[in-house]
Each structure stands twice: as C-alpha cells, then as structure tokens.
Amino acid sequence: MEEMQNQEDPKMSSVDNDQEEFELSHTDKLVGVFSEPTDTFEKIAKFPTKATDWLIPFLIFIVVTVVAGFVMMGKPTIKLDYLSKNLPRTEQEIQKQIDSGAIKEEDREKAMDMATYMLVLTPKIFKPLGTAVFFFILSGIFLLLVKYGMKGIGGYSTSLVSYGLPYYIVILEVIVTLLFALFADRFVTSFNLGEILNHDITIWPSSLLALINPFQIWFLVVVSVAYSKMFKSSSVVKYIYWIFGLFYGISIILLFFATR
C-alpha cells in the first residue's frame, strides 16, 4: 500500500503544479489590457486587489496629460488657435458682468488679462485635475451600478482597478491626440470625430460629434470586460450594455446643458 501511495503522490503533485495560478506582474497586466483583456482580468480577479493596479496608470495619465498641455500651449500657433476659439465667449461673459455692474468698465482689460491667463492654464492644469476628480466619481457611480443594480461581488477598490487599469488606453489616446495636434497645427482636446474634422463642438447638436471617439469606445469595452470579470459575472454583454448606456447617457446630458 505504501508503495502505491508513493507512486501516486508524484502524479498528484504534478497536477497541483499545473493548476497552480501565478499572479501577473504589472507589466503583464498592462500588456494584457491591450492584447487579452478578458483573460487578463479573469486572472487578476483570482487575487486580492492591488492599489498599484489603478494608481500607476492614474499617475502616468496625470503626468502625460500635463506634459501634453504644456507642449501644445508651448507652440505659438496652437496656443493662438486655442485662444481664438475660447476668448470670444470669455469676452461675452465679461461684457455681461460689465453691463450688470459686477465689473467696472475701466477694469475690462485687467479682467481680460486674468481670463486669458486662466484659459492658458486650463489644458495645462485644470483639465488634468478635472479628469482626476471625474475618475473617482465615475468609479463610484459604476460601483453603484454593478454592485447594487447588477448584484456584482466587490467593493470600491475592485471598482478602481476595473476602471483604472484600462486607463492605459486613455494614456495612448492623449499621446495620439498630441501628435495629431502637432501635425494639424491646431488645438485638439481629444481624438473625437468633431475635433478631427475641426467642427465647433461647443454648440448643440454638433457637440454630439465629440462622443464619437474610437479610443473612448475601446476603453469602455475593456472597462466593461474588467467589471464583468472582477465582479464575478458570467455575462460580459450585459455589462457592455449598461456601462455604455450609463456613460453616454451622462455625457449627452452634460453636453446638452453645457452647450445651451
């Protein structure tokens, strides 16, 4: 009997070794986001969540976005294009404040100088900061949808990883957008159809063209896959349906009120 057990033990050990799961390195996860997101997030879901899985791409995104803003604003022709698109509305707002008595006529030039300074800072500082805040808000909204609306299993840290790790796709978009802006020699905020075609996306309904963005669609598909796997769901399609619906629903409402 002991000899038989000794003969079986190596076989059982071999099977156990074959079935043993190894945690992916962050580099493997990065590559997996682009190459095999379904398999990658299935493997990630088998281990406790790591803050580095969302924090690293999040910080890289902030740095790349700030650098892209400084590079674009550092080129005179792009800066002039940006100001020519935004200063007219600023002048109208200042004129309204002068008419209402909030600003004195003699302070018009000072107000315009300050407004121009703030406009130049927007793509350098305020846009990255705004996107950072939106990152945490949307992670929370998706958590509410997935956990309570779709009965998923997971917490806020799981939501941060599900939403944050695919941010490498957004980082790629920032780089491609910067290269396109330098090539076109005009200011571009994202790689959407409206800005590629140089349409005025500040008016309704032309602003809807801003929602046609291949990188954004790609990102949301991977995010949907990530949430479905991280929150232990067997249906990816259901997550794609609800996450796309929620994201574009919120976006359309915000665009409608922002361009009225």
Q: pLDDT value at position 56?
A: 96
Question: Which token pair is 113?
Answer: 């100088």
Q: Looking at residue 10, what is its pLDDT? A: 46
Question: What is the pLDDT at residue 260?
Answer: 66
- Residues 69 and 125: their CA atoms lie apart, in Å, by 8
Cα separation, 203 vs 193, whole angstroms: 15
Q: Closest Cα to residue 50, out of 131, 162, 166, 134? A: 162
Cα separation, 243 vs 258, in Å, equals 22
CA angle 39/44/49 to nearest 5° reads: 160
Q: Is residue 95 part of a domain?
A: yes
Q: Tell me if 241 is assigned to some domain.
A: yes
Q: Does 98 map to a domain?
A: yes
Domain assignment present for residue 39? The answer is: no
Taking every pair of Cα atoms in the chain, the longest distance, rounded to a whole number of angstroms, is 103
User: Between vectors from CA 96 to CA 90 and to CA 100, what angle results, nearest 5°?
Assistant: 145
Q: How far is CA 150 from CA 6, 116, 153, in A?
A: 49, 46, 9
Q: How many domains does the chain have?
A: 1
Q: Which residues of 191-201 are buried (b: 16+ CB within 10 A; e: fewer)?
A: bbebbbeeeeb
Cα–Cα distance measured from residue 102 to residue 97, given in angstroms and rounded to the nearest whole number? 5
Q: Decide if 61 is inside a domain.
A: yes
Per-residue tens of pLDDT for the chain, all 260 residues: 444 444 444 444 444 444 457 889 999 999 999 999 999 999 999 999 999 999 999 999 999 999 998 898 889 999 888 888 877 777 778 777 777 777 777 767 777 778 777 777 777 777 888 888 989 999 999 999 898 888 888 899 999 999 999 999 999 999 999 999 999 999 888 898 888 888 877 777 777 888 889 999 999 999 999 999 999 887 889 899 999 988 898 888 878 776 66
pLDDT of residue 52: 95
Cβ pair 82, 73 in contact under 8 A = yes
Residue 101 lies in a domain: yes
Contacts for 254 with CB less than 8 Å, ≥ 6 apart: none
Domain extent for 188: 49-258
Q: Is the peptide bond before 205 cis (omega within 30 degrees of 0)?
A: yes
Return the residue matching tokens 């200042």: 94
Task: Classify residue 215: in a domain, yes or no.
Answer: yes
Q: What is the pLDDT of residue 4?
A: 43
Q: Answer whether 77's CB lies under 8 Å from 136's CB.
A: no
